[in-house]
Structure 1
Amino acid sequence: MIQKSKHIYYLILVFLSFQLSAQNSAWQPASFEVVKSNYKTFKTTQYAHVFSGSKHNIVGFATELQGLTGVELPLDAYKKGTNAPLQLKFKEPVQVLIGIFQEKNNSDYRQLNNAKLVLENGVTITGLPPVNVYAISYPKGTQIINPEGKGLFAVLGVIKNNQPIVSRNAQLLDGKLWNMPYIIEGFSDEKPLFEIIGGENKAVIDEGMPGTEDIQGGFEGGRVVKVGETYHMFPTERAGEKGVPYYYDRVKTKIGHWTSKDAIHWKRESTIYQASGVYAVTEDDNPMNDRRSAIWSYMPVFNEKANKWYGYYLAYTVHKEIEPNHSFGRIWRCESTVDGINGIGGPYKDMGIIMEPGLDSQPWEGRQGVASFFPYKVGEKYFGFYSGAYPFASWADYPKKSGKGWFVALAESNSLEGPWKRLNKGLEPIKTIHPQFVENPIVSQLPNGLYIAIFDGGPEGWGHHLPNMIGYSLSKDGINWGEARYLPIETKVDKWWDIMRTPLCLIPEGNDVYTIVYNAIDLKRRFHPTGMVKVKLNKDVMESKLKELK
């Protein structure tokens, strides 16, 4: 009896081992040819572009599908039922893996009743319902792939007919949590403006490196500029205090000054500013509170007319209990006391507040606004991106009842010194870039004069389903900004992060190559490191963008 039990136990272990192996291994692909159509194919990988004429991309898929070849179907034609038949030619009997969107009573999507379900919730596609994957057998030869009914479906791969399959629920998320699809460079119908050409496969500033001894929580935001052959970085250091939990890292902050000759090996030079770390005593924007309790987002800008470096930075009131902790931001301007381009290291002296909550604020700026600032020149005028977050639906919700959203708008001035005036045309933020999340934009110009803003595209984490990539937007006049594109840098460098945060620069290096230094988060760690990547500009695409933009 004991021997028999052991034998049964052994068989169960073998069966479970087989199941685990099957569900963690990619299914064996079968080759095929697309017949009588110009449909493109794609590899089923992260960010794969699934439908032509759309922005929908894969952001999650079962491991069994890794590397299979799918077919880009024209989205609108299949939704409307006006598509030409899809014909595939097979050299052997196969199983075609069909993705069916789980939204019943919607004629836009195909439904299957007589097919083998192999992966429940097997794929996540931005902006679309959950996907169940079915396997349909076809014999050798040219076959029409047209499951019963009408509407949109996805062809996710073709596998050998004798492929062993273990059906399971992959438990991937509903793509509609990403409430809008977005354009990923290199994974859409259009040619990419930037090619990711490589970079460091690990953080360039990490915990334990020289200069990080008094920084508990790593880095977030700021700017990198290049003067001669030297990179100068002014990050927000999430300093915190030793022996105090991580929540304090984002309160007691510093603005540091770091230098490098290659954007890889960095040396800490000095502290530009130190926050007090003192919590507020009232819930509202009250002068009783310390309004410099947290300092963030230092942006150095060289003023050629004054022949000195200006710094623009953000000072917050910090409340310990009300979300967001960072509240009622104020933008300060400072000046280097050392003239000339080489005076970038300061020391700096404060010249006063240039933007703050006031009578010209709008409810969308929310409890956190003003939450960042970056000035740039257009002709003889200056414009500045300023931001808000945790918006109020109306002023009746002030000071505690805030919503979610991270927005930007423009201010204008005749000089870098100010005064700066909000451009509240329509009393709304700029939503042409992204309707919900644009954070810490930094503006420069491309060789043909196009303005480019590079920014934090928003996290996939903390309850948010955002692109989780560095974003950029283009403008012909510096005022009207186009839809964001996102840079999937992990396609060319090892992904050491879970959450991509803020890009600090887009520095031209010659030969159309640019350096991006960025902050990111590994959720297993308290310390937020800094990384670096190189991208190459496609000048032909740049010129086509100039013609497209109004």
Structure 2
Amino acid sequence: MRYMLSSVFILFCCMFYMQQGFTQVPTARLEFVSLYPKPVIDQAHPDAADVKFGFEGGTAHKVAGTYYLFTTEIFDTPKTAAVRLAVWKSRNGITFKKHSVIVSTNRDWNDTTNRMSPWSPMAVFDTERNVWSVFHVGYRRKSNSTNVFNMSGRIFRYDSKVKGIRGIGGPYVEGGWLDIDKKPDWFEGPGEIVSFYPYKIGKEWWGFYGANSVPNHVDAVGNVNPNAKNIFYAALVKSQGILTDKWVRQSQLNPVLIDPEFVENSVVTKIHDSLYINLYDGANKHEISYACSKDGIHWGKEQLIEIPDAPLDIKHTRTPLCLIREKDGLYSIYFTAFDGKNPDKVEPLWHNGYGKVWRMIVRLTE
């Protein structure tokens, strides 16, 4: 009887995960250890004096003892459109200095070339070409949109001029647009591709891309049809060869329902051959979202790292930038969070307050 009940329970769990679109039970956990008591980058930083609305999205790495943080600077109005992609450096992981700017907005709000709003710089090391590549989404206003905040995306790449792993600091030169098959899936709305992060599985390049069902007509407050539900999807693509070759949507696996409502700006870290961790923006208040995979392809459901007694300046967490291995099984997570302070009601209101960069320490348990 005990064997029968155990079998029934296991079958029930398997059916539950299949119904939810999950193909793996979580294999690891990230446990909160500490939060640095103040932001590592905010409006008080002397190198952020001209950044009006803060920071959002990107990635971070530690190379030869130095931390490199790639992020979006929302420096002017129109907010979320007047932006640039910057590189910040730190020797101790706390005290950062602005190092360089990779690219800035062209300030053409009628632009049709996806150069209006560069966003979310994702830096990865290209082992075949021996350079760092920074992928980012380049936005243009949606064709029928009434405001510059409602945009469609396309992925562009910059490459480091300096060869080797130590070339991460740049300078960076234009590489080209992501070459992806022209067969959008059913869940990809007029926003097209809004995020992209490539990672290695063995000798193959895979990647997460983001799409959403947000329609063309959305005002700056975010009002849409109340009967419609805006879903932010995550999906997989695979390169036909090296990082700069054509990428193909993996429709048989998509969308990846880590969270059935909101997954954006995935950053995948390979811990070892049988553990990959995807940190992403899960539209949380005081939590960081992540999911685990044994093979980098099939993913478990969303898990959360809760921030206990979160500071008042963390009104809403936004995007995790990395999972950097430190000592003794500990990892650093840099993430952005809005402080919610927007007395002048500067639009768009879905980016509410100043976006600050924080550092959290977590412990990985398997």
Q: TM-score, normalised by structure 2?
A: 0.81
1:453 maps onto 2:271 in alignment: no
Conserved 8 A contact 1:392-1:403: no
Paired residue for 2:122, among 282, 289, 299? 299
Q: Is the 8 A contact 2:313 2:340 kept in 1?
A: no
Of 247, 250, 259, 2:89 maps to 259
Q: Which residue of 2 aligns with 1:537?
A: 364
- Map 1:99-498 to 2 at 5 A: 193-240=29-76, 244=77, 248-280=78-110, 289-318=112-141, 321-322=145-146, 325-355=149-179, 359-391=182-214, 404-413=230-239, 414-425=241-252, 428-431=254-257, 433-447=258-272, 449-460=274-285, 469-491=287-309, 494-498=311-315
The Cα shift of 1:195 comes to: 2.2
Q: CA RMSD in A?
A: 2.6
CA separation of 1:342 and 1:326: change in aligned 2, threshold 3 A:
farther
Q: Quote how far apart the aligned CAs of 1:380 are.
A: 2.0
Q: Is the 8 A contact 1:355 1:370 kept in 2?
A: no
Q: In the TM superposition, what is the alpha-carbon distance from 1:354 to its structure 2 partner?
A: 0.8
Q: Assess, with a 3 A threshold, how the Cα gap between structure 1 residues 391 and 209 changes in structure 2: closer, same or farther.
A: closer
Structure label with greater radius of gyration: 1
Does structure 2 conserve the Cα–Cα contact (< 8 Å) formed by 1:364 and 1:391? Answer: no
Relative contact order, CA 8 A, sep 6+: which one is greater? 2
Tell me the percent identity: 32
Query: What is the 5 A alignment of 1:35-46?
Result: none
Deviation by residue 1:154-207 (Cα, 9 ceiling, x = unmatched): xxxxxxxxxxxxxxxxxxxxxxxxxxxxxxxxxxxx998222111212211111
**Could you report, residue by residue, the CA deviation over 1:70-95 in whole angstroms, capped at 9, with x for unpaired residues?**
xxxxxxxxxxxxxxxxxxxxxxxxxx
Matched position secondary structure for 1:418: coil
- For residues 204 and 308 of structure 2, what CA distance do their matches in structure 1 show? 38
Residue 355 of structure 1 deviates from its aligned partner by: 4.8
Structure with bigger helix share is 1
CA displacement, residues 376-404 of structure 1 (integer Å, 9 cap, x when unaligned): 111221111001023569xxxxxx99851
Once residues 341 and 175 of structure 2 are traced to their aligned partners in structure 1, the CA distance between those partners, rounded to angstroms, is 41
**2: distance between equivalents of 1:192 and 1:271?**
36
Partner of 1:499: 316
Q: What CA deviation, in whole Å up to 9, does each residue of 1:217-249 have, x standing for no partner? A: 100000001111100011000111xxx5xxx12
Unaligned residue ranges in structure 2 (runs of 5+): 1-8, 10-25, 217-223, 343-352
Confirm or deny: 8 A CA contact 1:365 1:392 kept in the other structure: no
Amino acid at match of 2:42: D
Unaligned 5+ segments in structure 1 are 1-52, 54-189, 281-287, 394-399, 461-467, 543-550
Q: Tell me how far apart the structure 2 counterparts of residues 359 and 311 of structure 1 sit (CA, whole Å).
A: 22
Q: Which amino acid aligns with 1:440?
A: N
Give the TM-score, by structure 1 length: 0.55
Q: SS of 1:524's equivalent? A: coil
SS, match of residue 425 in structure 1 = coil
Q: Would you say the 8 A contact 1:333–1:353 is kept in 2? A: yes
**1:345 partner letter:** G
**8 Å CA contact 1:469, 1:501 repeated in 2:** no
Instruction: Tell me what 2:355 maps to.
Output: 528
Aligned partners of 2:237 and 2:35: how far apart in 1? 35
